[in-house]
Amino acid sequence: MAGGIGSRFWPMSRTNFPKQFLDILGMGKTLIQQTFERYAKLVPAENIYVVTAEEYTGIVKKQIPDIPEENILSEPSRKSTAPCIAYIAFKLLKKDPKALMIAAPADNLILETDEFVKTAKRAFDFVDHINALVTIGVKPTYPNTGYGYIQHDTAEAAPDVYKVKTFTEKPNVELAKAFISSGDFLWNAGIFTWKVKNVLAAFEKYLPEVYEVFAAEKDKFNTSKEKEAIESIYPQCTNISIDFGVMEKAENVYVIPATFSWSDLGTWHSAWENMDKDYWGNAVAGKKVMVVDAKNCMIHVPDNKLVVLQGLDEYIVVDTKDVLLVCKKDKEQEIKEYVAEVKRNMGDKYL
């Protein structure tokens, strides 16, 4: 799933070139390229699909030339993850009624690929034998208020698989601390596995308004009329996530705790966490940065610009060709609001 605009990574992530197509951490590959290489160890390249916005299909083709062009699916509008998953599920069901599917964001950071593949295979094995919707959970390392949390049973339903009790979306700090203390909560990584027919049955039960508009056009999928069908379907679709629409309502949801480190790389703080830092805890991307008496800052500036930073503690400093952002790290969840304010006052020029 590669259609988002990554507004919390503004001003580096822009509407016309969002974060999944950027090398945020300076690793030499963009996030979607890293994601493709990870999944290519799990399934053949011809079985990997990218669902993205129409305006990004050219970027996807350029950055991932190894998947067939027909596997790059374009959405005419952004409607969150439920319609996106329904789209690919209906396509796969028509190709193979027994198909298994793993759905994931294009911009997760997972560096331990072998451990990821083991976990994904465990999920595939489980859903192949039982009508289950499986998500991957990550052990929390701090009380993050930007992630969803999953509470699970303490007893295993199968080796390393647990029945989900509750989902909680983006709790406040006090609640997040309580979740971590309890020991039976995991971060929701947003990576889902199921049999295609079973997730569509869940759509039919819990999101019938989405299921029905896709089902009405299903005969056109995998034909020359697919684009026409999708352009008819999307305006009728509810804008809703798979979490809210299906996973939080279904009774057959299970979680597998990850054995790998994970970040949704959704914020500048998460970038700071995953980058090398100097003695004072500053993470610096930029070749001409001088840091004086500054601590625990996230600094991302152009290589050709000299930046001297003095006296800041726990700040995000991001400089692009036309925008400079200076923001306290503990206010980063408000960056979306700042972007909305920029749009109101200055239009789309800086978005």
Q: Determine contact, residues 108/191, Cβ cutoff 8 Å.
A: yes
Q: What does the pLDDT read at residue 218?
A: 94
Q: Taking residues 296-319, what's their average pLDDT? A: 95
Q: Residue 329: which pLDDT band, with cuts at 50, 70 and 90?
A: very high
State the CB neighbour count (10 A cutoff) for residue 261: 16
Report the predicted TM-score, pTM, of the whole model to 2 decimal places: 0.90
Q: Residue 137: which pLDDT band, with cuts at 50, 70 and 90?
A: very high
Q: What does the pLDDT read at residue 47?
A: 97
Give yes or no for residue 209 having a pLDDT over 90.
yes
Give yes or no for residue 143 having a pLDDT over 90.
no
Interhelix angle 226-233/81-95, nearest 10 degrees: 150
Instruction: Give CATH 3.90.550.10 domain extents, the chain.
Output: 7-266
Of residues 32 and 27, which shows the higher confidence score? Answer: 32
Q: Taking residues 128-133, what's their average pLDDT? A: 95
Choose the CATH number for 7-266 among 2.60.320.10, 3.40.50.2300, 3.90.550.10, 3.40.50.300.
3.90.550.10
Of residues 145 and 311, which shows the higher confidence score? Answer: 311
Rounded-to-integer distance, Cα 89 and Cα 198, Å: 10
The sign of the CA dihedral 272, 274, 275, 276 is positive
Report percent pLDDT > 90 for the chain: 79
DSSP letters, 10-79, are TTTSBTTB-GGGS-TTSSSS-HHHHHHHHHTTTS-GGG--EEEEGGGHHHHHHH-TTS-GGGEEEESS--
Q: Taking residues 322-349, what's their average pLDDT? A: 92
Q: Residue 328: which pLDDT band, with cuts at 50, 70 and 90?
A: very high
Rounded-to-integer distance, Cα 136 and Cα 106, Å: 15
Give yes or no for residue 2 having a pLDDT over 90.
yes
Q: What does the pLDDT read at residue 25?
A: 84
Q: What does the pLDDT read at residue 35?
A: 96
Q: Taking residues 119-148, what's their average pLDDT? A: 92
**pLDDT, tens only, 49-108:** 999 999 999 999 999 999 999 999 999 999 999 999 999 999 999 999 999 999 999 999
Rounded-to-integer distance, Cα 283 and Cα 296, Å: 7
3-state DSSP percent of the chain in helix, strand and coil, to 5: 40, 25, 35
Q: What does the pLDDT read at residue 52?
A: 96
Q: What does the pLDDT read at residue 269?
A: 87
Of residues 290, 347, 303, 349, the one with CA closest to residue 322:
349
Give yes or no for residue 322 having a pLDDT over 90.
yes
Of residues 72 and 182, which shows the higher confidence score? Answer: 72
Give yes or no for residue 26 having a pLDDT over 80.
no
Q: Residue 336: which pLDDT band, with cuts at 50, 70 and 90?
A: confident
Pairing type for strands 133-138 and 185-195 reads: antiparallel
Q: What does the pLDDT read at residue 24?
A: 84
Judged by DSSP in three states, 345 sits in helix
**Encoded tokens for 12:** 């580096």
Q: Determine contact, residues 113/136, Cβ cutoff 8 Å.
A: no
Interhelix angle 196-206/208-215, nearest 10 degrees: 120
